Amino acid sequence: MAPVGIAGPVERYSLKYVNLIQAPTIVDQITKINMAVRVGEVEVKDDHMSVQVHRSEGDTLHIMSVVTGAQAGIADGNQVLGAVVDIDSIRFVHFADFGEFASKLAPAVETLRQANKIKFFSCLTDAAINEMGPKF
């Protein structure tokens, strides 16, 4: 039996990071996010919100989403509240076939991962990052 191949050129690949930034109230959730939102005369401070920004940087599109008022169940059965921060980074490429893409996949994904990571942490305040317990 012949190996199954992926036909055609590779035009893009992506990496997505989704995290729930835990905080008990909408106000606390918003204070952990590095952003300010105003719609008309309403400044968002304690309102549920869903914001999405599409940012093109060279051959990469970052889709940054923030949603407050999220609730999730964790493995121990408890519920946690927080804001969802979702970074979807899409790199547009031109590889003639999957083999050519696969031969360059590891470094290509790593550079995209680094760009995605920078975007994620730029969405958080220093206090929120410190709460996550980073190790340097």
pLDDT at 97 over 90: no
Please give the backbone phi and psi of residue 67, each rounded to the nearest 5 degrees, phi first. -130, 125
Domain borders along the chain are 10-130
Query: pLDDT by residue (tens digit) across 63-92?
Result: 999 999 999 998 999 999 999 999 999 999
Q: What is the pLDDT of residue 15?
A: 96
Residues 6 or more apart in contact with residue 10 via CB below 8 angstroms: 93, 94, 95, 97, 98, 100, 101
Q: How far is CA 19 from CA 35, 70, 106, in A?
A: 17, 11, 24
Query: pLDDT by residue (tens digit) across 14-59?
Result: 999 999 999 999 999 999 999 999 999 999 989 999 999 999 999 9
Q: Is the dihedral of CA 136, 18, 52, 11 positive or negative?
A: positive
